[in-house]
Amino acid sequence: MKRLIEGLQKFQEGYFSSHRDLFEQLSHGQHPRILFICCSDSRVDPNLITQSEVGDLFVIRNAGNIIPPYGAANGGEGAAMEYALVALGINQIIVCGHSHCGAMKGLLKLNSLQEKMPLVYDWLKHTEATRRLVLDNYEHLEGEELVEIMVAENILTQLKNLQTYPAVHSLLHKGNLSLHGWIYRIESGQVLAYDGVLHDFVAPQSRLSYLEPEFNLHPNCPLTSYNSFKVPGSQPPGAMPSPQPSQGKLSALPGFSHLPMEQAERIYRGSR
Ligand SMILES: [Zn+2]
């Protein structure tokens, strides 16, 4: 606690003092352009990994970066998301999972949590679809590989859950919203972004020259039909190698075409 209180003073005398204009501007209102949904894990810091400024990201955090399907829970997630889209006019959502996620490890042994941590059990049940999909389709994996797959598939589950919300559904129909899935690797600091065309998580900077201008789930989202992920060293039988992204030129960063260029660059630059 002492360290935190000393930190408050250091913040006021250091960062705050040197960014007075920014904070003065923010005192009149917020205009974040990204809704960032990530895990509560202390090792994941959205602003740090994207090198974004205060005011850039509207953040929802919980155990396992879970968005319960519409109507399944009366929690803060739906309300925060609705506010972000309707009141703040945000049109980019990132669901960011991470390696070594305790929530995903818990999901793998869900029933054993019921007695010891009933609230965690109830919460993780909101992503039962992830657990069922992984257990039924990745029987050949175990240990860390299974956790990695759980993290990746859980991100895709949440991207689908997002689409059950009326506000998201409507914006996608208009083509005014794009959804993104990211994995943050704690051990390397690297971020991988889901590529709906390749059905794989790839380095976001590799998509800067990708022909597809934006991964937008509407209307022909490849997400609705896909095969199992490949895990290094455990190729499922009959699996084909991933195609390489085509080379091309883009005037805007993929998935960030609605952002001021400086802000978009800062967010992507941070994940390199
Ligand atoms: Zn986590």
40 CA to middle of ligand 1, Å? 6
269 CA to middle of ligand 1, Å? 23
46 CA to middle of ligand 1, Å? 13
9 CA to middle of ligand 1, Å? 30
Kindly state the average pLDDT of the residues 223-247. 45
Residue 70 confidence class, pLDDT cut points 50, 70, 90: very high
272 CA to middle of ligand 1, Å? 21
180 CA to middle of ligand 1, Å? 18
- pLDDT for residue 207: 59
Residue 262 confidence class, pLDDT cut points 50, 70, 90: low
64 CA to middle of ligand 1, Å? 5
- pLDDT for residue 73: 83
Given a cut of 80, whether residue 145 has pLDDT beyond it is yes
- pLDDT for residue 196: 87
Q: Does domain 30-269 bear CATH number 3.40.50.720?
A: no
250 CA to middle of ligand 1, Å? 34
Range with lowest mean pLDDT among 52-66, 147-161, 227-241: 227-241
Q: pLDDT per residue over 97-113, tens digit each?
A: 999 999 999 999 999 99
Asked whether the beta carbons of 177 and 190 are under 8 A apart, the reply is no
260 CA to middle of ligand 1, Å? 30
- pLDDT for residue 214: 42
42 CA to middle of ligand 1, Å? 9
- pLDDT for residue 231: 52
143 CA to middle of ligand 1, Å? 16
- pLDDT for residue 227: 55
Of 156, 146, 105, which Cα lies nearest the Cα of 234?
146
Instruction: Domain ranges for the chain, please list them.
Output: 30-269
18 CA to middle of ligand 1, Å? 33
234 CA to middle of ligand 1, Å? 24
* Average pLDDT in the chain: 82
Which is more confident, 244 or 194?
194
252 CA to middle of ligand 1, Å? 31
50 CA to middle of ligand 1, Å? 17
- pLDDT for residue 226: 44
178 CA to middle of ligand 1, Å? 23
165 CA to middle of ligand 1, Å? 23
- pLDDT for residue 75: 78
30 CA to middle of ligand 1, Å? 27
47 CA to middle of ligand 1, Å? 16
- pLDDT for residue 169: 94
Kindly state the average pLDDT of the residues 147-170. 96
Kindly state the average pLDDT of the residues 149-173. 96
